[in-house]
Amino acid sequence: MISVRTTEFNTANGADRAFDSTMFSRTNAFALLDDKGRIKVETAELQSGGLKVSRVRSTGHFVDLAEETAVTALLPQTGHLRVRVAAAEYRIASRAMCIFGPNERRTRAQAPSGAGLFHANALMIPQARLRDLEQAARDPDAAWTGFPDGLPLAAKHPEVRRLSDLLGYITQQFDDGLPLSPKAAAALAVLIEELLSDLIHQSTEVLREERALPAAWLRVRMAEEFMRARSDEPLSMAEVAREVGVGLRSLQLAFLEVRAMGPRDVLLQMRLERAHERLRVAGPADTVTSIALDCGFAHLGRFPAAYRIAFGELPTETLARSRRRLC
């Protein structure tokens, strides 16, 4: 059966010793975020010298680390992560995922509000192994172009959900103490490698764009994910900028560089698309006003004109066509 290495640390017993999670090549600095903090890191190696799966649970912590050889995928289950690599900052929400190449980074793990621990699953694969997998999946004449410092992926991505479920199954064995034979571990490692390779392969276009506009593209991606999740709420651009971790002017410049429009225009498009879909499948009790309000439009007088520019007809016309289909 595979063995699980466990490291535990708390503020009571950590005053006179340094913490080393054993996950990464080097831990430069570490701190728990409160005076009664604790952390537990469990790691299992599914392949000798190869793929590793870890589970991290803490009351909240900060770590400055260096990873020299492995690509790391982080999948928070409860709480969230903020990871800074050079000038870029990545916010990884619960159930989302971010993949990091070998680099130095600072990670802040935040437990959920109220009771409960921060909990994340992670996998690490040698970059050389991932390069071989990616090369095999591509055109034989296409050279490996390397991996970016970070690649954030939304929780809604099917492969992210599948990978999260698989890692959850493996880490559950840490609690159950069920034997996992070397043969079973090798089979799981192959499945994880295939899922991870497919996920990265499908994100080729994202990788290309991030290389072209690393800081701006990252900020836009983070802002758009946040705006899409909150598009039906009153939302200021200052709030979006704070969520991304930049000033308002920096956010505006990033959108102009990547989208050739400001963040408020992008939010307007999101709301219009949502309203359009709602009007197309409207029920008997729905009205243009109720749908517009549900989709985040506070200025109802401006809604019809913006809708007509976007879709070539008034919202009342879309609703009328939807009503005819119900008859």
CATH code of the domain covering residue 276: 1.10.10.60
- pLDDT computed for residue 185 by the predictor: 84
How are strands ordered across the β-sheet holding 103-110? Answer: 26-32, 61-67, 103-110, 80-85, 88-92
Q: Are residues 171 and 314 in the same domain?
A: no
End-of-domain residue from the set 212, 234, 254: 212
What is the domain extent for residue 20? 4-212
d(CA 260, CA 55): 41
Give domain status of residue 219, yes or no.
Answer: no
Q: What is the reported pLDDT for 288?
A: 93
Token pair of 309 as six digits? 């520019």
Q: Answer whether residue 321 is part of any domain.
A: yes
Rounded to whole angstroms, how far apart are CA atoms 6 and 3? Answer: 10
Give the residue from 17, 46, 29, 157 showing the smallest Cα distance to 97.
Answer: 157
Last residue of a domain, one of 183, 212, 241: 212
Pair (256, 176) in one structural domain: no
Residues 189 and 42 in one domain: yes
pTM given for the model: 0.63
**How many structural domains does the chain have?**
2
Written as one letter, the residue type at 245 is: G
Cβ 217 vs Cβ 258: under 8 Å:
yes
Q: Are residues 206 and 110 in the same domain?
A: yes
**What's residue 327's pLDDT?**
59
What pLDDT is attached to residue 55?
95
Structure confidence at residue 208 (pLDDT): 52
What pairing do the DSSP bridges indicate for beta strands 97-100 and 4-10?
Answer: unpaired
**Do residue 86 and residue 165 come from a single domain?**
yes
Together in a domain, 58 and 165 = yes
Looking at the fold, whether 87 and 194 belong to one and the same domain comes out as: yes
Domain limit, last residue, from 212, 246, 261: 212
Instruction: Give burial (CB, 10 Å; 0-12/13-18/19+) of 89.
Output: buried
93 CB-near residues (< 8 Å, 6+ apart): 76, 80, 155
Q: Quick check: 94 and 80 in contact, CB under 8 A?
A: yes
Asked, for residue 306, whether it belongs to a domain, the answer is yes
Same domain, 206 and 303: no
Kindly report the number of other CB atoms within 10 A of residue 6's CB atom: 12
The pLDDT value recorded for residue 138 is 61
> Is 218 a member of any domain?
no
Q: What pLDDT tens digit does each residue of the chain (327 aa) get? A: 578 888 898 887 655 466 776 788 888 888 898 888 999 999 998 888 789 999 999 999 999 999 999 999 999 999 999 998 887 788 888 888 999 989 999 999 999 887 789 999 999 999 888 888 777 666 555 555 566 678 888 777 788 889 999 999 899 888 877 667 788 888 888 899 888 888 877 765 554 544 545 678 888 888 998 998 888 888 899 999 998 988 999 999 988 888 878 899 999 999 998 999 899 888 888 899 999 999 999 888 889 999 988 888 899 999 888 877 665
Q: Which residues of 157-181 are buried (b: 16+ CB within 10 A; e: fewer)?
A: bebbeebbebbeebbebbeeeeebe
Same domain, 31 and 178: yes
pLDDT at 146: 62
Residue 314 falls inside a structural domain: yes
Residues 44 and 65 in one domain: yes
